[in-house]
Structure 1
Amino acid sequence: MSFIRVEANSDFPIHNLPYGVFSTEDEPRHRIGVAIGDQILDLSVIRNLFTGPFMSGNQDVFNEPVLNSFMALGHNAWREVRQVLQKLLAASEPMLRDNMELRARAFVPQAKATLYLPANIGDYTDFYSSRDHATNVGIMFRGKDNALMPNWLHLPVGYHGRASSVVVSRTPVRRPMGQVRPNDDKPPIFEASKLLDIELEMAFFVGPGNSLGKPIPIHKAEEHIFGMVLMNDWSARDIQKWEYVPLGPFLSKNFATTISPWVVPMEALIPFVLPNPVQVS
């Protein structure tokens, strides 16, 4: 339990502690924070409290306007920071609880904050990992008899998306224009999409990368995954149906991708891990 009041139906209990980037009207500088209840804990204010073996020499990552440098520190640093945060926010810990001057500087009401993309996104890959979803989209484009392509059962199907059009929640999205071919007997026409699809997906931020040409072993992959956000993979299905052969989606997917502002650390999700579905051909 935390000394910060957290409502029973809150998405931000002490067990979560997601990371994000925010500013306020009186302090427009972008800074890194952690959500707890209806508050944001400003990590730039308390950065000197991270004195463990992995963070004592890296406190300045919380002075930066995005999470990239912190994410690059790796799994041990992430775990250390989470342990410190859970201790500092615990109802039994006086260091932050009883220091009213520090509390006044460190906590910001979420209602008074503006949230931003949590990191600079240099690239992203969109995977096609749900069999049900792949089948449904296949029926839409190719019919029931040819819904699931043969390669889906053997490799992770994906494509590189447009990182420059990833936006944070509440950013307005313009309906895209493109070529569509509603009638196979007539030439394609250029118009606004009439089949704009909303896709609720999970997106993961990767921390430490790998050297060019040096793969990350599968058993080490989880050590590189920092956390998860919700994602809306906006899709203009009528544009996609006409353009996706042979190289996959292009204008039908690159006009916008929306992600939530709070990155839930993988450590917070461990209690909810379930076995993978059995894979059958």
Structure 2
Amino acid sequence: MPPFDVPEGDPFGPHNLPYGVFSPSGDSERRVGVRLGDQVLDAGAAAAALGSPHQALLARPTLNPLLAAGRATWTEVRSAVTSWVTDPAYRETLAPLFHPLSEVSLHLPFEVADYVDFYASEHHARNVGKVFRPDAADSLTPNWKHLPIGYHGRSGTVVVSGTDVVRPSGQRKGPADPAPVFGPSIRLDIEAEVGFVVGVPSEQGTPVALGDFREHVFGLFLLNDWSARDIQAWEYVPLGPFLGKSFSTSVAAWITPLDALEHARVAPPERTHPLLPYLDDAAPGIEPGGYDLRISVALNGEVISEPPFSAMYWTAAQQLAQMTVNGASLRTGDLYGSGTVSGPEERQRGSLLELTWNGRNPLELPDGKRAFLEDGDVVTLTAWAPGPDGIRVGLGEVTGRIVPSA
């Protein structure tokens, strides 16, 4: 099928056009690509062939220059690319610049600056609270309804989808163990999340307001923040996650620009506690901050969960405001994750910790029971969002295979 002839209703049609970085078969040079159906357009080569003023931004081995260019340029480039792939006048010129998706190598699409992971799902937070504090009067911590809780991750271990995940080793100690032991994690887990990438930086000392979210954030993507629950449980008091999280975070190869998700914007859940002004998304002039993303989690090809991102209590705009309210600056390539996405139903939980209730109720799968991940297991996250005229907007998948400790 010619690259322009995308089947009707394809979730990666011209209404979507996510950005990534690829190298063609037999060529190690990295290039900015735009996905159309099951094809990848060499965006830099297309810009050069058509005399685009944005050639310098697109003829690069990473998306960072485009991210830094700002919202007006993002809109111009998206409009241009949409025209290139839909106007018959460009077909003859651009046809040779497409590459079958199956024949290219996909790379980490941007250079990660800082990485912050949040804890923004009330359903996830309540489940975790019930698992670890079953006798508590409230499964949420006292601060949870007042601010988006987050922690710093490790940007150097963010990897692109398809990268193997080496089972981490570290200290662990069960409640009845007399002393900690060292060894491979035996409670390796997933966290189905959505990531956001910052394009335009901010000055240190200048917070980013809720209403400026779309001036700084370029797009979103699926993210799996792999978690070693046994290592985490022993280390996290009093300062929180460290080695139990920092060994690997997988992100999609395709970044969906926010402009492709206009039809997926929704209001977040009802706020049950008054919010301080810098987080108050009910204030006049603040647009809805939620996104209706339908996520599926598959373990060895079997769908085990379908978390709804629309159920997230804290929005990406509120998370950005919280990240910067103390004057912390943004950098191009800053990545922040939503935290585990979980819904109100058992089938909507975004981690094995919740799905198996900390291993007490293993999942029954065609290849056997699972409480936590075993070597050789493959986890794949996929998602879609409502688009124009009922067409779905597809998000790039995130997949990873567990391999034994080195």
Deviation digits for residues 100-137 of structure 1 (CA, Å, limit 9, x no counterpart) = xx421x11111110000000001111011001111122
Deviation digits for residues 191-227 of structure 1 (CA, Å, limit 9, x no counterpart) = 2111111111000111001011111122111221101
Calculate the TM-score normalised by the size of structure 2.
0.64
The one-letter amino acid of 2:89's match is: M
Distance 1:152 1:8 in 2: 44
- Determine which structure has greater relative contact order: mean sequence separation of CA pairs < 8 Å that are 6+ residues apart, divided by chain length: 2
8 Å CA contact 2:3, 2:39 repeated in 1: no
How many residues are paired up? 270
**Alpha-carbon shift at residue 8 of structure 1 (Å):** 4.5
1:1-281 equivalences under 5 Å are 4-8=4-8, 10-48=10-48, 49=50, 51=52, 56=53, 58-90=54-86, 93-99=87-93, 102-104=94-96, 106-143=97-134, 145=136, 146-184=138-176, 186-281=178-273
The one-letter amino acid of 1:62's match is: L
Which SS does the other structure have where 2:112 is aligned? coil
Deviation digits for residues 114-171 of structure 1 (CA, Å, limit 9, x no counterpart) = 0000000011110110011111222233335253111111111001110000001110
Distance 2:26 2:168 in 1: 36
Distance 2:135 2:116 in 1: 27
8 Å CA contact 2:197, 2:218 repeated in 1: yes
User: Would the alpha carbon gap of residues 122 and 3 (structure 1) be closer, same or farther in structure 2, given more than 3 Å must change?
Assistant: closer
Cα RMSD (Å)? 1.7
Distance 1:147 1:175 in 2: 30
**Alpha-carbon shift at residue 5 of structure 1 (Å):** 2.0
Which SS does the other structure have where 1:253 is aligned? helix
User: Would the alpha carbon gap of residues 71 and 149 (structure 1) be closer, same or farther in structure 2, given more than 3 Å must change?
Assistant: same
Calculate the TM-score normalised by the size of structure 1.
0.91
8 Å CA contact 1:179, 1:189 repeated in 2: yes
% identical equivalent positions: 44
Q: Whose strand proportion is higher, 1 or 2? A: 2
Distance 1:28 1:5 in 2: 28
Deviation digits for residues 46-101 of structure 1 (CA, Å, limit 9, x no counterpart) = 224474xxxx2x421112100001000011101111111111111xx2331233xx
